């Protein structure tokens, strides 16, 4: 039988198109996001043993206690982030395997992404090369701090759950921009969209989600 990473069978373009139709049925409306989800080969971002499950609507383990988010979660967070006035410079907190990173890179001019686990940064670099993404800048560091020297960002996407919004990141959103992140309260997580206006910040709570926690420091 042919290997899962060859783009044949369960990892084929047809399989990705079925995933896109499912995302559309689940309420994803941004056609640009749907198009990118159909282009990016999700199976190259997971271990070969899991490639046949890459297009199911589930999160999958990456090692180091981390996961690759489900296709719906990736599409939903990207769709919410793209509601910003512009979508040229994006900051991602939590590179992981690089899948969400690559999806963002197909829609934004420049993506800056931080990951606290050095081994995952190395994996992500390999995946970015395979995906042909050249407009992504990776950094090994604590995501709580963000990248203030490169701020402001049109959008910030955080792929780990926080108990409260990191204060340093709020100041790195441009006026008219937004931040999308999972927030945990009393054991439950919800996607949160924070928009920065001329008068301050407006917060909206959205879907229930399940993410690994945002951890300080580097590893």
Residue 69 bears catalytic tag: yes
pLDDT reading at 1 higher than 80: no
Q: What whole-number distance in Å separates Cα of residue 45 and Cα of residue 30?
A: 23
- Using 50, 70 and 90 to split pLDDT, how confident is the model at 218? confident
What crossing angle do the helices spanning 31-39 and 13-25 adopt, rounded to 10°?
Answer: 150
If you classify domain 58-209 with CATH, what class do you get? alpha beta
Q: Regarding predicted confidence, which is higher, 9 or 90?
A: 90
In the chain, domain spans: 58-209
Q: Is the pLDDT of residue 54 over 90?
A: yes
Find the catalytic residue in 59, 69, 105, 113: 69
209: pLDDT strictly greater than 50: yes
| pLDDT reported for residue 64 | 87
Which pLDDT belongs to residue 63? Answer: 87
Q: What is the rounded distance in angstroms from the CA atom of residue 91 to the CA atom of residue 154?
A: 8
pLDDT attached to residue 2: 35
State pLDDT tens for residues 135-156.
Answer: 999 999 999 999 999 999 999 9
Q: Inform me whether the pLDDT recorded for 5 exceeds 50.
A: no
C-alpha to C-alpha distance for 151 and 54, rounded to whole angstroms: 34
Average pLDDT, integer, range 87-96: 96
Average pLDDT over residues 21-43: 96
What percent of the chain is predicted at pLDDT more than 90?
A: 84
pTM here is: 0.92
pLDDT at 196 (0 to 100): 96
- Band the pLDDT of 11: cuts 50, 70, 90: low
Mean pLDDT (the chain) is: 92
pLDDT score of 10 more than 80: no
Structure-token match 């640009």, residue found: 32
Q: What is the pLDDT of residues 166-192, one digit of tens each?
A: 999 999 999 999 999 999 998 899 999
Looking at the chain, which runs of residues are DSSP E strands? 60-63, 66-68, 89-93, 110-115, 136-140, 153-158, 173-185, 188-197, 200-209
Average pLDDT over residues 47-73: 93
Which pLDDT tens digit goes with each residue over 116-130?
999 999 999 999 999
């Amino acid at each position: 039988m042919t290997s899962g990473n060859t783009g044949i069978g369960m990892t084929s373009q047809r399989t990705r198109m079925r995933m896109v139709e499912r995302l559309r049925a689940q309420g994803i409306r941004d056609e640009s996001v749907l198009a990118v989800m159909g282009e990016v080969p999700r199976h190259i971002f997971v271990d070969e043993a899991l490639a046949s499950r890459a297009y199911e609507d589930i999160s999958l383990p990456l090692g180091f206690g981390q996961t690759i988010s489900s296709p719906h979660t990736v599409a939903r967070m990207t769709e919410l982030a793209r509601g910003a006035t512009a979508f040229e410079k994006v900051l991602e907190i939590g590179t992981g395997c690089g899948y969400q990173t690559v999806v963002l890179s197909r829609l934004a001019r420049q993506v800056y992404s931080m990951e606290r686990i050095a081994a995952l940064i190395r994996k992500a670099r390999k995946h970015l090369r395979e995906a042909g993404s050249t407009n992504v800048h990776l950094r090994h560091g604590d995501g709580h701090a963000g990248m203030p020297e490169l701020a402001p960002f049109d959008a910030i996407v955080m792929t780990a759950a926080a108990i409260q919004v990191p204060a340093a990141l709020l100041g790195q959103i441009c006026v008219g921009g937004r931040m999308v992140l999972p927030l945990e309260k009393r054991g439950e997580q919800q996607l949160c969209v924070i928009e920065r206006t001329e008068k301050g910040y407006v917060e909206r709570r959205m879907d229930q989600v399940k993410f690994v926690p945002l951890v300080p420091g580097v590893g």
